[in-house]
Structure 1
Amino acid sequence: MLDATTRSGGTATVLPRVTATELAVATPVVVPAVPLGRTARLGRALLSPWARFSMLVAVLTGAVTTVLLFEPQRLLADGWPPQLNGATAAVVFAVAYGLCTVAFVPRPLLNLAAGALFGSELGLTSALAGTVLGAGVAFGLGRILGQDALRPLLRHRWLKAADGQLSSHGFRSMLAARLFPGVPFWAANYCASVSRMGWLPFLLATALGSIPNTAAYAVAGARASTPTSPAFLIAMACIALPALIGAVLAWRKRHQLRGR
């Protein structure tokens, strides 16, 4: 405690006592500026758009390498592992299907494999689940790791038109892309992730639009041993017809974009 006494004209004056805590509060504390540490600078660098895009490239490269080393096409030659059967096998296949689509494995091959391994109905269910899973994973990777870096590059007229179509009419555009093959599955996923399309329209359009084409391939895979059967021939027709319609629509759309 501090106590101070002054004298003025013979009269003693006692000053109020001031505690050390009050002095500490009253005295302003100046904290020196701390320079940005290496950890903070490294964190900012890792979170930059191009650093995240580099991570996306690394992840996709690793996925492609893994698929090439694993050789999933051996499942058709060697058969499904005997310890996996029924619903468990279908779930495992759906997960593997989704991861393979992220690594750019063509969906037609996976759909044929689903039909050949599990039959038409279970093969369709497993392949469709893998389709939605793979699309969601690819969309998430592209949205989180690639969108900020790639959006500033959308300067070409065609790229701007495609981005505007996906951003403004996401569900309709993605539904058409799934119904009429022409754009590769992985390309549609990553293009949609760079646009401003929402998650729900993307996944819903993917699920609904992929049913006809996936079913046709699953039936073709299940009946591949009898290529002259009506079911196989109808399935092949259902595969060829949407492809033809998609090619015509893409040709017309291209000429419309050129005319703008």
Structure 2
Amino acid sequence: MKNMENKFFRINWQKSSQLFLPMLAIITVVIAILFHPESALAQTAAPTTSFNPQVILRNALQWIESLGTVGALAFIGLYIIATVAFLPGSILTLGAGVVFGVVWGSLYVFVGATLGATAAFLVGRYLARGWVANKIVNNQNFAAIDNAVGREGLKIVLLTRLSPIFPFNLLNYAFGVTGVSLKDYFIGSVGMIPGTIMYVYIGSLAGNLALIGTDSQPSHPTIQWAIRIIGFIATVAVTIYVTRIARKALAEEVKINDEV
């Protein structure tokens, strides 16, 4: 471990930053198409015998939207289930922006993700410890994180949440086999907030984009879109900045623990 090189942390940030905004723009347009009222993709999918998590989650979001005030509880429950079941939470996070807007969508996603992550953590610790250990036993990067967790549990959980370098669903289970306490793990979930807000914001923009040309279009779209775009750019900038700091701090923490 002492001589292990953590190549995972060595990223060309300049190149990544150049690609980041164009990729987000493409994602926003795609989501807008998916949720456009007149789009065939926005309608309930025809019954199919194949298992398609994306279609299932999208249809679930449409059902949740029809529930009104009860939809928030249904969404949180769905997010918990998706997190434990390894279903793609990104679809739900983006969809929350479309259905609930930025503020409430971010809140519901954070609550659902935190409770779901905690449930997965407990399953990994008490019910599926052997299975989880077999999944990560040959992952050198996680081995480095595991050593660091033994010394700075809360700090490492927080940094990995701020800088999502591992698959979210697997990481929840993986932390269950480490020495981190449930309290530190739960508190460390606040690190998900910047990324959550950013992706919910993307979903919200996509939802507003889908309203263009419909009766629900805002009366002063230019001003409102200018405000939304400025807010979006600021959110992305802050998220990238925080992620860079967290990734650097995590790499340094792992290096220190490798040398101990």
- The TM-score with structure 1 as length reference comes to 0.61
- Bigger RCO of structures 1 and 2 (CA < 8 A, at least 6 apart): 2
Equivalence for 1:187: 170
Aligned position for 1:36? none
1:71 to 48, 52, 56: 56
> What does residue 152 of structure 2 align with?
169
Amino acid at match of 2:240: A
Which residue of the partner structure matches residue 237 of structure 2?
A: 237
- 1:200 aligned onto 2:196: no
1:116 aligns with 2:101: no
For 1:130-169, list aligned pairs within 5 A: 130-147=112-129, 160-169=143-152
% identity of equivalent residues: 26
Partner of 1:220: 202
Aligned counterpart, 1:178: 161
CA distance in 1, matches of 2:90, 2:54: 20
Distance 1:240 1:74, change over 3 A: farther
Structure 1: state its 5+ residue gaps.
Answer: 1-64
Deviation per CA, 1:80-115, whole angstroms, max 9, x where unpaired?
4564112x1111101101211223334443222111
- Residue 57 of structure 1 is matched in structure 2 by none
Deviation at 1:154?
5.5
1:96 pairs with 2:81: no
RMSD value over aligned CA atoms? 3.4
1:158 offset after TM fit, Å? Answer: 5.7
Alpha-carbon distance between aligned partners in 1 of 2:131 and 2:82, rounded to the nearest angstrom: 25
> Contact 2:94–2:200 (CA<8 Å) still a contact in 1?
yes
- Describe the SS at the equivalent of 1:223: helix
Q: Distance in 2 between matches of 1:111 and 1:230?
A: 21
Report how many residues are paired.
Answer: 192
Question: Is the 2:133–2:174 contact (alpha carbons within 8 Å) kept by the matching residues of 1?
Answer: no
What amino acid maps onto 1:73 in structure 2? R
- Given the alignment, which residue of 187, 193, 211 partners 2:193? 211
Is the Cα–Cα contact under 8 Å of residues 115 and 222 in structure 1 kept in the other structure? yes
User: Which segments of 5 or more consecutive residues in structure 2 lack a partner in the other structure?
Assistant: 1-49, 210-224
Measured after TM superposition, the shift of residue 118 of structure 1 is: 0.3
CA 1:67–1:239 in structure 2 vs 1: closer, same or farther (change >3 Å)?
A: farther
1:66–1:197 distance in 2 versus 1, CA, 3 Å: farther
Structure 1, 191-200 or 105-114: larger mean CA deviation: 105-114
Q: 1:46 is matched with which residue?
A: none
Partner Cα separation in structure 1 for residue 140 and residue 202 of structure 2: 40
* 1:157 CA displacement: 7.0
